[in-house]
């Protein structure tokens, strides 16, 4: 019985020890670099950082997609609309710095914990709880912008219509 207990304890200690393997770097006379798990003349040991691991939630703990969609739909139905007031759709304007001041609105106004998110050419560029958001250094040319209402979990609950605008900026070539 003691032999089995000792054998079990030994296996447990062996498997609980972190798995470490040495890595060696060697540079030959021609400057070629090779890596190996076996030391050789002139090789130096490389310190390898531990691998980052994550633990995913159990499937039972993940919310069902249909339930989440229903909650977002109910939350989004609180708002009649959300839209960009400025710049106007199809507007063209000059901005030497490339700054674009977006003015947004919703009916009714934002609920507590919600915020507006402006996207430019499909990429989020800022969030605000006020009705204005300035995006800096926008490249010259035509862009598409949208506004969304985001809840406290970061989920889009309402999306407004997209607008298109053109920004003119000075060029060193002109």
Report, at the CATH architecture level, how domain 79-168 is classified: Sandwich (2.60)
* pTM (2 d.p.): 0.56
Beta-strand relationship, 141-150 and 115-120: antiparallel
Distance from C-alpha of 75 to C-alpha of 71, rounded to nearest angstrom? 6
Residue carrying structure tokens 């490249």: 139
**Domain ranges (residues) in the chain:** 79-168
35 Cα distance to chain centroid: 34
pLDDT along the chain (174 residues), means of 10: 53 50 84 86 83 64 55 66 94 91 92 91 90 91 93 85 92 66
Per residue in 38-80, pLDDT tens? 888 888 888 877 766 666 666 655 555 555 555 555 555 688 8
Quick one: which of 160, 162, 152, 144 has its CA closest to 106?
A: 160
For the chain, percent helix, then strand, then coil, each to nearest 5? Answer: 15, 40, 45
Q: Check: CB of residue 128 under 8 Å from CB of residue 160.
A: no
Is the peptide bond prior to 18 cis by the omega test (within 30 degrees of 0)? no
């Amino acid at each position: 019985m003691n032999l089995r207990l000792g054998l079990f304890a030994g296996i447990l200690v062996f498997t609980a020890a972190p798995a470490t393997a040495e890595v060696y770097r060697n540079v030959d006379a021609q400057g070629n670099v090779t890596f190996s798990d076996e030391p050789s003349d002139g090789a130096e040991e490389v310190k390898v950082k531990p691998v980052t691991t994550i633990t995913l939630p159990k499937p039972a703990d993940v919310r069902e997609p249909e339930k989440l969609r229903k909650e977002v739909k109910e939350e989004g139905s609180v708002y009649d609309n959300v839209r960009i007031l400025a710049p106007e759709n199809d507007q063209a304007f000059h901005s030497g710095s490339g700054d674009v001041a977006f003015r947004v609105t919703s009916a009714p106004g934002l609920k507590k914990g919600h915020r507006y998110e402006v996207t430019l050419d499909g990429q989020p560029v800022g969030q605000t709880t006020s009705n204005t958001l300035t995006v800096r250094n926008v490249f010259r040319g035509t862009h598409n912008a949208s506004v969304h209402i985001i809840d406290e979990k970061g989920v889009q609950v309402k999306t407004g219509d997209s607008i298109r605008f053109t920004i003119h900026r000075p060029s060193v070539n002109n």
